[in-house]
Amino acid sequence: MVLEHADTVVLGAGIAGCALAYHLAGKNVGAVVVYDPRTPAAGATGRAAGVVTEQLWNEWDVEVARASKNEYAQLAARWDPSAFTANGFARFTAHAAAAQVLVETLGRLHSWNVDVRAIGAEELTRAVPWARLDDLAGAIYSPHDAVVTPSSLTEIYAEGARSRGADVDFGAPFRSLEADAGAWRVAWGTREVRANRVVVAAGAWSKKILANVHHPLPLAPYRTQAAVLRPPPGGPIPFPSVHDIDLDVYVRPEDQGRILAGDGTELVEVDPDRTGGGGDETFLTHLAETFETRFPGWAEAELVRAWAGVCTSTPDRRPFVGPMPEAPGLNVLTGFNGFGVMRAGGVAQRLAAYLGVGEGATAEREALRPVLPERFPPGTPAVAPRPGFTLEAGDHPRF
């Protein structure tokens, strides 16, 4: 076996790894290789709902999601217009206390220039006539939020990376990753590559990969589910994506008049290699009950398919992006807490800018400050998975 050399090996061809390769290959950094033992988007990306919203918890995330959205709109317009639809996004509650938090959320989002406003039951029912909203206590609506097809965007990124000279290699089994005298050696299939840098962008598998090289991060893989259903024809298309905060169920428009519905985090850590990909009875029952009470117009929808995917939780809900402390050349791009599609493009731009400059990239590193792995001291234990799309107002610090 001939030992190959590269500047950067990206481990993982989900939307994050492919977006990073696309941006990095456009910089003058030397050879970029992306490797995945499966196919691009075979992990969480190919199972994601593809909701992209700016209704987020801190300004950094809003900026990143906005950058992603702009990039997805441009890439889809050029390569696959069906992969991006600006349909808007509404969240609502029937509880007064949660409605009060929504009011506070509006104020915070406005301070970050997010185009979002309160919406009344009547207007929301006109947009989503399948819903029963007569008990609504509060709702907010961001008209420029979008839905995307994550697997299509991942393919666009992968092809874009290839056309910029990156080597995108997938399908062969992973063999090893190890430090090698100031560099990193990665082996898979019949290949072995020595690289100045490696970026672990392996979604739920990142935890094991990092633990095996003795640089663990507090990550907790967890399961989340979604389903595509075919409702009776009729109603506005596309309608805004909606999230019932109380029942933690969201619904977005899907192609061919279908709908895609999902619910929240399962609060137990799982092993991504031992987690089934199918939707389970409990999930489908929860969906059916939610439709009966909240979306009666969809109660008769026929199930097309249901599935589960594995996301990765972090103790503070922010991802881990950038250089690992005490591990020269080892970088991470993971821990998206169920929001990796909407973050990937914007985060990849920032990480590529940092890696493109190399040591001394002070401003570029500062742009990653809230998500740098160094924010947790080595040895910090992983916490149990935390619900993704909460109303918690606590996570909006200074940045």
Ligand X SMILES: Cc1cc2nc3c(=O)[nH]c(=O)nc-3n(C[C@H](O)[C@H](O)[C@H](O)COP(=O)(O)OP(=O)(O)OC[C@H]3O[C@@H](n4cnc5c(N)ncnc54)[C@H](O)[C@@H]3O)c2cc1C
Taking the CA of residue 156 as centre, how many other CA atoms within 13 Å lie in the half-sphere pointing to its CB? Answer: 21
Question: Which residues between 221 and 260 bind ligand X (CB under 6 A)?
Answer: 224-226
Residue among 22, 35, 84, 283 that touches ligand X (CB under 6 A): 35
Among 73, 195, 220, 311, binds ligand X (CB under 6 A): 311
Q: Whole-number minimum distance, CB 12 to ligand X, in Å?
A: 3
Give 307's contacts (C-beta < 8 A, 6+ positions apart).
47, 225, 226, 227, 277, 278, 279
String of DSSP letters for 241-287:
EEEETTTTEEEEE-STT-EEEEE---SS---GGG---B--HHHHHHH
Would you count residue 38 as binding ligand X (CB under 6 A)?
Answer: yes
Distance of CA 248 to the CA centre of its chain: 18
Q: Which of 6, 13, 158, 249 binds ligand X (CB under 6 A)?
A: 13
Q: By 3-state DSSP, what share of the chain in percent is helix, strand and coil, each rounded to 5?
A: 35, 25, 40
Q: How far is CA 94 from the centre of its chain?
A: 28
Q: How many CA atoms within 13 Å lie on the side-chain side of 187?
A: 10
The 46-85 site mask, x for binding ligand X (CB under 6 A), equals -xxxxx----------------------------------
User: Quick one: 199 or 301, whose CB is closer to ligand X?
Assistant: 199
For the CB of residue 132, give the shortest distance to ligand X in the complex, in Å: 24
Which CB, 298 or 339, lies closer to ligand X?
Answer: 339
Given the complex with ligand X, which of 333 and 367 has the nearer CB atom? 333
Q: Would you count residue 334 as binding ligand X (CB under 6 A)? A: yes
Exposed (0-12), middle (13-18) or buried (19+): which is 30, by Cβ within 10 Å?
Answer: middle
Number of shown-chain residues binding ligand X (CB under 6 A):
40
Q: What are phi and psi of 92, to 5 degrees?
A: -145, 160
Q: Which of residues 168-187 bind ligand X (CB under 6 A)?
A: 174
Binding site for ligand X (CB under 6 A): 11-17, 35-38, 42-45, 47-51, 174, 201-205, 209, 224-226, 262, 309, 311, 334, 336, 338-342
